[in-house]
Every structure is written in structure tokens, then in C-alpha cells.
Amino acid sequence: MEQIVLTTGTFIQISVSDEQKLFARQLVDYSIQHHHISNIWDRNEDRLAQTRMMRFTGKLGEIVFADCYHLPRPARSFGATDGQDWGQDFLIRSDTEDFAVDIKSMKRRNGILAGDYVLNIPSSQLHKPGSKTSHYFCISFHQSETDGTIASLLGFIDKQALENGEIGKLFYSGTKRIRTDGSTFSFSESTYEVLFSDIAPPVVTNSIRRIKGFRVCELK
């Protein structure tokens, strides 16, 4: 089977199985029932109800990534021990370099993604003392009326490039931003914005190509 090498501005989509969602839900449910760890959004009462979905989305991203690249699935959810993995969801070893990958997952309304969409990474997380992260991996989920849950694997962000200002932009706490729909919001803490167009596309293996729903997409 011919290898696919993606170019900048492209990403892949795959179907998410019911079993993957069930596994993520079980980990999150156990964590919420037995291990309460404070969330950064606990101060915002209107977001408390979103705790379960936020954790589910994050855990599902880890499971999908693990299954795509034949890595061990996570055995616990956020807070199952001390709530800290030091930004290393996965450690990928190669002959030349080790990659400590932190999975960043989000939900969107659809799978039509544009180059000027952004991934937000809090400055406190990027510069957290003891952090092991070398790369972030971005996954977006959306619900299709005909095909169920779809994962868009956008790819990798080099943490050092972000720290050095080669990609991304830092917005300080209180900075007002305008969304594409014209509404506004202010950052509650200093945050880095990374354009989807600056994300390095994922590696496509033969096994990924065989996953249900696989297709190559382009950023709009």
C-alpha cells in the first residue's frame, strides 16, 4: 500500500467506535465519582456542568491517538491518582529522539476546519515547572448525522517552537478577542493561540488508512 505523506494544511478524519466512547466514559465516570480534582474552570459556575463532557472529550482523544498508533490506552482518567501526568500522555521513542506528547482535544460543530481556527494553550500549562511535554497533538471531534462521531486528527505542535515564538501568539490575561461569529470574549489567563495552519500534519500509517471512515481533508 502506497504511503501517504501529508502536506501542510491537510489533516485526516476517521470514525470513532462505540467501544472507544464507552471506554472513555467508564474512565471518566470512575474518576468523577472517586477522585475529585479541582478544574481550572471551577471558579466559573456556568461551566461546572461541562466538567464531565470536557473530561470525556480529552480522554476520548487519548484513546483515539493510542489506537491509531498502537500505543497502550490510558488506564485512568484525570485525577485517578494525583491528577498530574506532567504533560506526557504518551512517550514515543525513536532512534534519534523521544517525543513526550500531550493530547489536546476539542469539540466542534462540524468537520469543516479552517486554517485560521486556533488551538488555545494556557501559558501556565506551557511553562509549568516539571512539564515533560515536547509536542502537543491536536484532535477535533464532531458529530455527523449519518456517520456518528468523527475525529479530525490535525497533527503536532512543537512546544519549543511555540516557546520561541516561531509559531503561535501569546495573548495576556484580559485581552479581548473577537470570534468569527462577531461575538467577543476576554482571556481569563494568559494564553497562546496556535493557528491550525501552523500545525504539522499527522503521520499516516497503513493501519490508520484501514480505519473506518478514513479520509484526507484540507483546511479551508
**143-157 pLDDT tens trace:** 999 999 999 999 999
Residues 6+ apart with CB under 8 A from 92: 69, 71, 98, 99, 101
pLDDT, residue 200, reads 95
Side-chain half-sphere exposure of 65, counting CA atoms within 13 A: 27
Task: For residue 216, give the C-alpha cell.
Answer: 484526507
Query: Residue 215 in contact with residue 13, Cβ under 8 Å?
Result: yes
Contact 56, 32 (CB under 8 A): no
Span 15-71, pLDDT tens digits: 999 999 999 999 888 877 776 655 554 555 555 567 778 888 999 999 999 999 999
Pairing of strands 135-144, 98-107: parallel
Distance CA 8, CA 197 (A): 7
DSSP summary character for residue 200? B
Query: Taking the model in full, what pTM does it have?
Result: 0.86
Q: How far apart, in whole angstroms, are the C-alpha atoms of residue 23 and residue 157?
A: 27
Looking at mean pLDDT, say which of 3-7, 40-44, 130-134, 201-205 comes out highest.
Answer: 201-205
Q: Which of 183, 189, 119, 130 is nearest to 152 (CA)?
A: 119
How high is the pLDDT of residue 158?
95
